[in-house]
Amino acid sequence: MAQKLPPLRFVRSVLKSFMAESGLEPRLLGPHLRITHAAVGKVDFELDITKDHTNRLKMLHGGTIASMVDLGGSLAVASMGLYATGVSTDLNVTYLSSGGKVGDKITGTAICDKMGKTLAYTSVVFINAKGELAARGSHTKYVTQAWKSQETPFVPPDNAEIEDE
């Protein structure tokens, strides 16, 4: 029987895998991105903005936010119990306010809105250091193969908000 982990520990293990195996996430987000909370269907995270995250205007680059929509959506899928989080079929970002500048922190909340056998639908919102809604995004993932390749699943308890660290 597979090891069962609480959502926060499980989602952090998925993030650790992204950072170890991916080319983009460790280079762009690296140690500056942290998961602060995870429950079934919801993941909160934050990013300390560095120069590597900014555009030539010295503001948070839209591509950084788009990458966090992609990663956040994947982590929301992971919070539902899938270690393999599928592949992207659609990603959308709407930019509403500045995300911030070097030294600021931007926070994100990713929600798994619906999970099926074929597709998972997620949404992510970002709040800047001023407390303003900076951006919102959606991310659809094809998860059929992900259901078949479970490595370290957990069984989500009803209404779980388990924090283990």
CATH number (domain holding residue 120): 3.10.129.10
Q: Please indicate, yes or no, if residue 46 is contained in any of the structural domains.
A: yes
Domains identified in the chain, total number: 1
Q: Which residues pair with 156 in a beta bridge?
A: none
User: Could you identify the residue written with the tokens 């119990």?
Assistant: 81
Quick one: pLDDT at residue 148?
84
Task: Confirm whether 21 is domain-assigned.
Answer: yes
Residue 102: which domain range? 7-148
Residue 14 within any structural domain of the chain: yes
Residue 125: inside a domain, yes or no? yes
Nearest to 71 by CA among 17, 119, 130: 17
Confidence of residue 164 (pLDDT cuts 50, 70, 90): very low
Query: Is residue 163 in some structural domain?
Result: no
Beta bridge partners of 66: none
> H or E element: which one contains 89?
strand 87-95
Query: How confident is the model at residue 151, as a pLDDT?
Result: 56
pLDDT of 43 higher than 70:
yes
Q: Is 88 within the bounds of a domain?
A: yes
- Measured CA to CA, the distance from residue 49 to residue 54 in angstroms comes to 8
At residue 77 the predicted structure's pLDDT band, cuts being 50, 70 and 90, is very high
Task: Report which residue type is found at 74.
Answer: S
Q: pLDDT tens across 120-151, in order?
A: 999 999 999 999 999 999 999 999 998 887 65
Answer whether 0.85 is exceeded by the pTM. yes
Among all chains, which residue has been given the structure tokens 């699943």? 153
Residue 45 in domain:
yes
**Residue 158 is assigned to a structural domain of this protein:** no
How far does CA 127 lie from the centroid of its chain? 14
Helices (H), 31-90: 62-78
